[in-house]
Amino acid sequence: MKFLNKMMMLCAFIAGMGTAGSLMAAGNTLPELGGTAAVKSAAAYSAKASLEKDAVCTRCHDESEKTPILSLYQTKHGVRGDSRTPNCQTCHGESAKHLQGNTDGKGRPSPDVVFKKGTYALSDDKTRSDQCITCHKGTARTNWDGSQHQSNQLACNSCHTVHSPVDKVREKKTQTEVCFTCHKEQRADSKKLSHHAIGESKVVCSDCHNPHGSAGPKLLKKNTVNETCFLCHAERRGPFLWEHQPVVEDCTNCHTPHGSNITPLLKSRPPFMCQECHDGSHASGTPVGPNAAGYQAGLSTVNAAGTGFLAPSANNVGNGCMNCHRQIHGSNSPAGGYLQR
């Protein structure tokens, strides 16, 4: 029975092939079985049209100019086999008056959108950015409108170099050069004794910040400082049985992220940093902090105001808060209520 069914199916197939052959012989063509051919044809047409539009510009704007033009074809914006790739007029506008040339004796009018200041006046930052956001929207650029960079009149090409095959701001080795053009204070901090490996190109600005806008402070990638720090410092995340409140609130209560002359990235030296919060009596009975009244000989000293604070002395050499309170970021020990080691 199975053999008979197979023979019937084979006969039907051969008959169908014969019908198709007769139709083709009669000058008829079979219908398209899918949209693949149509898509390829449309892409080829789009690529050809883009090249034709480019040719209108590149007959004048070639490599004889000081700025790179044709090197665009070494970038993703120059992949003409992709129908999504823009052409010159996609970004610079149709620029009909510019193409017509000097018709009124006042010189050739500028293109519709000018990205770099030179012969023509620079287009405003919103116009330039809108040209890019037309394609590059969503994901990391969702919060561009209203962001600090956008509010300070920066446009996409203030940081990005579109025509160059190497965009410095997207390369780890050169990204900080672009950012430090404006952020001079952070550049100075990154050269201090204790710093993230920024100069070594192991950590770059975009590891922590989203330059296109963020829901968090300081253009951070996450909603809070701590969430951003925990991307790398996961061992500090917790949860801990005993927590240190300043750590839970904000890492920058104690640390300065771009660099410090106090290891590890501390804002001030211990025990002085600890005494900014811990001002009163120590559990041992020793006064703590610059406002603690009185002092205990051999364990604390007296400042000019006559108040005592816990500090190393001749009988207390080398002592510091973290000699005992080692688990400063939090402890899971049942006996670690005071964050002891």
Lowest mean pLDDT among 24-28, 47-51, 63-67, 100-104: 24-28
**pLDDT tens track for 153-191:** 999 999 999 999 999 999 999 999 999 999 999 999 999
Q: How many CA within 13 A on the CB side of residue 297?
A: 0
pLDDT in tens, 15-60: 444 444 443 444 444 344 445 555 455 556 677 888 888 999 988 8
How does DSSP classify residue 71?
Answer: G
pLDDT at residue 2 is higher than 70: no
Across 298-319, b (16+ Cβ under 10 Å) vs e yields: ebbeeeeeebbbbbeeeeeeee
Scan for tokens 């149709």, then name that residue: 94
Tally the residues of the chain: 341
